[in-house]
Amino acid sequence: MVITIDGPAGAGKSTVAKRLAKKLDVAFMDTGAMYRALTVKALRLKINLEDAQALTGLAAKTVIDLCNEAGKPLKVIMDGEDVSEAIRSLDVTNNTFYIARTSGVRHVMVDHQRRMGQQQSMVGDGRDLGTVVFPKAEYKFYLDADFKVRCKRRVDELRAKGQVVDEEALAKDLAERDHQDMSRTVGPLKQADDAVHIDSTAMSIDQVVDFIASRVRLT
Ligand code: DC
């Protein structure tokens, strides 16, 4: 069984997907983390981020694993190294779009994601899961929220981690990421025709999780 949750940054997808996976006792697949992990490697190796061929070659020889262990946060392992923290840096966040817009990279990622989906039941979150990766998924959701609310959630999240946040800059970055995600030619952010649209503007994370869980009949 595959449940897909797509939507823009800051809509709460990862938190919802993580909690839902726990509730249903299935794996959690954070596909954004996979694109981020490859970005970490490309930045370290100082690969030209405009060079699609080099990025595709890099993707083909990089092993990215998502490690689900009961009761523990998801671990992102790149070539055997735990990069779970490194993938959350601002530099990585700002550069992942170069990786994500490269069609050769997306092919490698999509293949890998499909293999993971064949091996186990899971909740996956991303941008193209319902449209490209798992077009036949049993349950598809598109999670959205007002732009201002998405900004506020990101600000609160970063402040809770003790980071100093420039709200205006964050809003600009988020708008830019929305544009990049929706306008790329391969795997753009788009609601699948058969996905259930959820506007989480006035909903808590638990309400969203309960709503999705109530729609999912475990087989
Ligand atoms: O969900 P996130 O913010 O961790 O995603 C990081 C980046 O990866 C974001 O720029 C969008 C991109 N992404 C993508 O293109 N396709 C996915 N399935 C998931 C994420």
* pLDDT computed for residue 65 by the predictor: 95
What would the CATH number be for the domain defined by 2-202?
Answer: 3.40.50.300
Q: What does each C-alpha distance from 15 to 30, 45, 203 come to in angstroms?
A: 10, 31, 13
Number of residues assigned to the chain: 219
Q: How far is the CA of 35 from the centre of ligand 1 (A)?
A: 6
Q: How far is the CA of 1 from the centre of ligand 1 (A)?
A: 22
Tokens representing residue 217 in the block: 């009949």
Element (H, E) at 219: none
* pLDDT computed for residue 71 by the predictor: 80
* pTM of the shown model: 0.95
Q: What is the DSSP letter of 28?
A: E
| Distance (Å, whole) CA 134 – CA 113 | 9
* pLDDT computed for residue 147 by the predictor: 97
Which of 58, 183, 36 is closest to 108 using CA atoms? 58
Atom of ligand 1 nearest to the CA of 128: 18
Query: Which residues are within 8 A (CB) of 18 and not within 5 positions of it... i.e. 6 or more apart?
Result: 28, 30, 74
Ligand 1 pocket list (CB less than 6 A): 9, 31-32, 35-36, 96-97, 100, 126-128, 177, 181, 187
Whether residue 97 is predicted with pLDDT greater than 90 in this model: the reply is yes
Q: What is the per-residue pLDDT across 18-51, written as a single tens digit (0 to 9) for each?
A: 999 999 999 999 999 999 999 999 999 999 999 9
What average pLDDT does range 158-180 have in this prediction? 93
Atom of ligand 1 nearest to the CA of 129: 18
Q: What does each C-alpha distance from 23 to 5, 53, 134 come to in angstroms?
A: 15, 41, 21
Q: How far is the CA of 166 from the centre of ligand 1 (A)?
A: 22
185 band by pLDDT with thresholds 50, 70 and 90: very high
* pLDDT computed for residue 218 by the predictor: 53
What is the DSSP annotation of 132-154? II-TT-SEEEEEE--HHHHHHHH
Ligand 1: residue whose CA is nearest its atom 15: 100
Could you give the 3-state DSSP secondary structure of residue 86? helix
Whether residue 219 is predicted with pLDDT greater than 80 in this model: the reply is no
What average pLDDT does range 197-216 have in this prediction? 95
Burial class (CB within 10 angstroms; exposed 0-12, middle 13-18, buried 19+) of 52: middle
Whether residue 121 is predicted with pLDDT greater than 80 in this model: the reply is yes
| Distance (Å, whole) CA 129 – CA 187 | 9
Percentage of the chain surpassing pLDDT 70?
99
Ligand 1: residue whose CA is nearest its atom 10: 97
Domains in the chain: boundaries: 2-202
Q: How far is the CA of 123 from the centre of ligand 1 (A)?
A: 15
Ligand 1: residue whose CA is nearest its atom 1: 32
What average pLDDT does range 99-115 have in this prediction? 97
154 φ/ψ angles, rounded to the nearest 5 degrees:
-65, -45
Ligand 1: residue whose CA is nearest its atom 2: 32
Which of 37, 8, 22, 2 is closest to 206 using CA atoms? 22
Tokens representing residue 190 in the block: 């788009």
Percentage of the chain surpassing pLDDT 90?
93
